[in-house]
Amino acid sequence: MAKRVITLNVNGTEHPVQVDATDRLIDLLRDQLNLKSVKEGCSTGDCGVCAVLVDGKLVNSCLMLAGQCDGRRVTTLEGLVDDPTMKRMQGSFIANNAAQCGFCTPAMLMASWDLARHSAEPSNEEIKVAISGILCRCTGYYQIIDSVREGCKRGEK
């Protein structure tokens, strides 16, 4: 297939890009747009470290063909670097030792940010569900859950 041009909005900027049929959204984001926070851990949609927001919903970017993304709005961690909610969440992750090897951390932050937008006081169960599609092999999840709970609280510095 000849390359096709699509245009998508990534982190607030319109990007016309050329994609092959086999390119996945993760390839577009990492290789063409240099957004390295998006990680590839399993290539089959089972680990979640590639998770980004597409049209406001958390999605595994390794399971979306780039060619299906024309006109969509994508948000990665890089796009939230100045967002106050994300900054609060990142601070909470640091303070609560939520990042060990760090490979799942961007995806965990995206899922947590998504939760924080909807809830200032999520229950433990709600937090676990929000991150249930992202595998972490290092932390056992507890310190991540603590981080998210604290990071969701509003009205902090």
Partner 1 sequence: MSEQASKLLDSLKVKAERGELLYIGENIVRVDSMEKVLGSPVYTGDLLPKGTVYAKLFHASVPHGIIKRMDLGMARSRPGVLGVLTSKDIPGLNESAAVLQDRQLFADPVVRSTGDILGAVIAETSPAAADAAGKIEVDYDRLPAIFDPLEALGPDAVRIHEKGNIARQMKIRKGNVEKGFADSEFILEKTYRTQFQDAAPLEPEVGLAIPEDGGVRIIGSMQSPHHTQAAVAKVLRLPPEKVRVIQAVTGGAFGPKSDETPYDVCSTAALAAVKFRRPVYCPMDREDSMIMHTKRHPFVISHKTGVSKDGMLLADESKIVGDTGAYASLGVFVIVRATFHTVGAYEVPNVKADSNLVYTNNTYTGSLRGFGGPQAVFAFESQMEELARELGMDPLEFRLKNMLVPGKKNATSAVMDASCGLSQCVEKVVTSSNYREKAARYRNQMGNVRRGLGIALLMHGNSLGPEGNDYGAVHIEVLSDGSVSVGSGLTEYGTGAISGIMQVASSVLGVPLSRFRLERPDTSKHRESGPTVASRVVVIGGNASKLAAEKLRSRIVPIAAGLLRVDPKDVAIADGVAFDQRNPSKTVQWETVVAEAYRRGVSLREDGFFMAPPAPWDQEVGQGTPYVQYTWGALIVEVEVDLGTGSYRVVGAHAAYDVGKAVNPGGVLGQIYGGTVQGLGYAMMEELLHKDGAVVNPNLGDYYVPTSMDIPDEFKAFIVEVPGPLGPFGAKIIAEPPIVLPGPAVRNAVLDATGVSVDDLPVTPEKVLMGMKLGPRARSR
Partner 2 sequence: MASLELYSPTDLNDALRFMEKEGRNVTIIASGTDLLPRMRRRKVSPSVLLDISSFTEDLRYIRQTNRAIHLGALTTITDLLESPLFDGKLSIIKEAATHFGAPQVRNVATVGGNICSAASSEDLIPVFLSLDASLKLVSSRGERTVPLENFIIGKRETSIRPSEILTEISFNPPAGDSWTGYEKLGRRNILITAIVNEALSLTLEEDLHTISSARVALNRVSGKIPALAAKTNGFLEGKKISDETITEAQRVLSSELSLTSDFRGSGAYRAEVARVYLRRLIERCSKQIGGHF
Nearer to partner 2, 21 or 101 (CB): 21
Q: CA 43, 50, 106: angle at the middle one, nearest 5?
A: 145
Task: DSSP for 41-106, please give it.
Answer: S-SSSSS-TTEEEETTEEEEGGGSBGGG-TT-EEE-GGGGTT-HHHHHHHHHHHHTT--SS-SSHH
For tokens 């998770």, the residue is 51
Residue 46 touches partner 2, criterion: CB under 8 A = yes
Residue 22 touches partner 2, criterion: CB under 8 A = yes
Nearer to partner 1, 8 or 52 (CB): 52
Question: What order of strands is seen across the sheet that includes strand 51-54?
Answer: 13-19, 4-10, 73-75, 51-54, 57-60
- Contact partner, 83, from partner 2, partner 1, none, Cβ < 5-8 Å per class: none
Q: How near is the Cβ of 83 to partner 2 at its closest, in Å?
A: 20
Element (DSSP H or E) covering residue 147: helix 142-152
- Contact partner, 78, from partner 1, partner 2, none, Cβ < 5-8 Å per class: partner 1
Nearer to partner 2, 80 or 111 (CB): 111
Largest separation between any pair of C-alpha atoms in the chain: 52
Per CB under 8 A, contacts with partner 2 among 61-120 are: 62-65, 67-68, 70-71, 111
Nearer to partner 1, 58 or 103 (CB): 103
Q: Which of 32, 45, 83, 150 binds partner 2 (CB under 8 A)?
A: 45
Residues lying near partner 2 in the complex (CB under 8 A) are found at: 1, 4, 21-22, 24, 43-46, 48, 51, 57-60, 62-65, 67-68, 70-71, 111, 129-130, 132-134
